[in-house]
Amino acid sequence: MVDESQSGPICPYGLTRWLLCQSPAVDKISKIKVLYLACRFCMDRETFREQLLAVMKRKDHWAWPFFTSGKIAKERLHFHFEQEYATYVRDFPVMVGWAYVRCPIPEVRRSLAENLYEEETGGLVAGSPHPRLFLEYPRGLGMDVSRFEYVQLLPAAKRYRDFLDEAIRHYGWEVAAAIVTIFIEGTKDDGAVFDPSTAASTPPLEEHPLVKHYGLAVEHLALTKAHRRVEGSHRQSAWKAILDHVAPRRRGPVVRAMEAALGHWLLYRDAVAEVCGLQRNGTGQHEVALSSSPSCHPV
Ligand SMILES: [Fe+2]
Ligand SMILES: [Fe+2]
C-alpha cells in the first residue's frame, strides 16, 4: 500500500510560504495576489490523488459486463482483441519507454525501467513479452492470429491511439508516466492501492470469463497469470512515482490529460461495443442488439 503518512497536503509553492513570512517587506495585497495565483495554478497532493482516483473510477465502460458474462457472440470477439492489441497492447513497452526517456528523475526512471523490461521481455515474471502473451487469448480461442499483423483501427480507436501518442511524446514526462502507468495500466479499482480492504477478490483461473464462457484452455491465460503476479507492485510504484514526484504546478495538467484520455477511451470502447453487437436503446440503457451466442472477456 502506498504510504500517505509522509506527505500530507502541501501548500502550493515554497514561494507562497516564504512570502507569507515576509510580513513588513511585502504588502497585504501582494500576498493575496500570490496566494490567489498559487491556488489557481497549483494543486495539493491530496486533491491531486483524489482527482486521479476519480478519473480511474470512471474507467468503467457500460459494455464490459456483457463481455465478462459471455453475451458477445464468439465470432465477434476478435474485434475486441484486435482493437485492444493495436491501440495499446502491441506498443505498450514502447509507451513505457517514452515516459522513461523523458523523465529527469532517476527514482522514477528506475521504476519505469523495471516495468519496461518486464513488459518487453517478460524477463522478471512472465517469461515472454507481454504483447506476445496477449495473443495467446485469441490463439487459444481458435482465431486467425495473422489478422493481428494488420489491424485496421476503428475511427474512435484511432483517435484514442493518436491522443496517446501525442500525450506520451509531447506533453512532458509527468503526463507520459501518468497516462502509461496509471491510466492505461490501471483499472477502476486502483483505489485499492491506498485501501486494500476495497480490493476486488481474484477468482480462480477456471472462473475466468474466457474459460467459463468461451472454452479457453487455462494454459492460454499466461498473461493473466503474469499480471496477477506483477501488476500489484506496478500499481504501487506507478502511484508513488506520480504522487511523490509530479511538481504541484504540473498536477493540474496531469489531471486534465487523464480526463482527456478517459474521454477518448470511453468513445473507443463505445465503438468496440458496437462492432461486437451491442448498442444503446432509446431509454439511455444498453442492450445486446445483434449477438445471441455466448462470448467474451478482458485483457
Ligand atoms: Fe506492467
Ligand atoms: Fe503487462
The rounded Å distance from CA 26 to ligand 1 centre is: 49
Distance 104 CA to ligand 2 centre (A): 24
Ligand 1 centroid – CA 227 distance (Å):
7
Task: Output the DSSP codes for the chain.
Answer: ----TT-----S-HHHHHHHH-TTTS-HHHHHHHHHHHHHH---HHHHHHHHHHHHHT---TTHHHHHTT-S-GGGHHHHHHHHIIIIITTHHHHHHHHHHH---HHHHHHHHHHHHHHHH-TTTTSS-HHHHHTHHHHHTT--GGGGGGPPPPHHHHHHHHHHHHHHHHS-HHHHHIIIIIIIT--TTGGGGT-GGGPPP---GGGSHHHHHH---GGG-HHHHHHHHHHHHHHHHHHHHHHHHS-HHHHHHHHHHHHHHHHHHHHHHHHHHHHTTEEE-TTS-EEE-S--S------
pLDDT of 9 higher than 90: no
Residues of each domain in the chain carrying CATH 1.20.910.10: 44-290
pLDDT band at 122 (very low <50, low <70, confident <90, very high): very high
CA 176 to centroid of ligand 2, rounded, Å: 17
Q: How far is the CA of 21 from the centre of ligand 2 (A)?
A: 49
Average pLDDT rounded to a whole number, residues 172-184: 97
What angle (nearest 5°) sits at the alpha carbon of residue 238, between those of residues 169 and 137? Answer: 80
Mean pLDDT of 63-84: 96
pLDDT per residue as tens digits for the range 239-271: 999 999 999 999 999 999 999 999 999 999 999
Distance (angstroms) between ligand 2 centre and the Cα of 48 equals 26
Check pLDDT > 80 for residue 34: no
At residue 54, the pLDDT reads: 98
Closest ligand to Cα 89: 2
Q: Looking at the domain 44-290, which fold is it?
A: Heme Oxygenase; Chain A (1.20.910)
Q: What is the pTM of this model?
A: 0.84
> Looking at the predicted structure, is the pLDDT value of residue 214 above 70?
yes
The environment of the single-atom ion ligand 2, i.e. residues with CB closer than 5 A, is 130
Among 253, 257, 247, smallest CA distance to 12 is for 247
pLDDT for residue 10 = 40
* pLDDT surpasses 80 at 201: yes
State the Cα–Cα distance between residues 93 and 113, nearest whole angstrom. Answer: 10
C-alpha of residue 44 to centroid of ligand 2, in Å: 31
Query: Does residue 181 register a pLDDT over 90?
Result: yes
Whether 98 shows a pLDDT value over 60: the answer reads yes
pLDDT at 291 (0 to 100):
43
Residue 107 scores a pLDDT above 60: yes
Q: How many residues does the chain have?
A: 299
Between the CA of 227 and the centroid of ligand 2 the distance, in Å, is 6
CA 98 – ligand 1 centroid, Å: 14
Ligand 2 center to residue 250 CA distance, Å? 27
Evaluate whether 156 touches 232 at the Cβ level (below 8 Å): no
Q: What is the pLDDT of residue 284?
A: 52
Q: What is the pLDDT of residue 232?
A: 77
Partners of 278 in beta bridges: 288
Stretch 124-137: mean pLDDT, rounded? Answer: 96
Ligand at shortest distance from the CA of 181: 1
Per residue in 45-66, pLDDT (tens digit) is 999 999 999 999 999 999 999 9
